Amino acid sequence: RLVEHLDPEQVRGLIGPWSHQYPDRGLPPGPAIGFLQETLRWWDQHLKGQETGVMREPLLRSWISGSHPPATVYETLPGRWVGDASWPSENVSP
């Protein structure tokens, strides 16, 4: 709901499998991403006015977990990244 009413020219979202951890620390579950690099791209674009390409990416990037057996700890979750150009997504129904 938060993203739905924000200006799509100024917002990007990233949702991954990281369970309240920084996604660059390599803590389970993975996959890890270059979180600091992603953050730097955002700040360079919006604070320094540098073209970093971050605003050409999907409005929302989300990790969709694949099927996996139950476990108490997952090192890496199977799945894939998906991107949506708008929110609410046309690919999701209530």
What pLDDT shows up at residue 45? 96
Determine the structural domain holding residue 66 and report its residue range: 3-84
Q: Is residue 12 part of a domain?
A: yes
Q: Is residue 94 part of a domain?
A: no
Instruction: Dump pLDDT digits (tens) for 52-81.
Output: 999 999 999 999 999 999 988 888 889 999
Q: State the chain's mean pLDDT as an integer.
A: 87
Q: How many domains does the chain have?
A: 1
- The CA-atom distances, in angstroms, between 70 and each of 23, 28, 40, 61, 67 are 22, 15, 36, 25, 10
Strand-strand pairing, 60-65 and 79-84 = antiparallel
In a domain, 15, yes or no: yes
Q: Is residue 44 part of a domain?
A: yes
Looking at the domain assignment, is residue 90 inside a domain? no
Residue 91 falls within a domain, yes or no? no
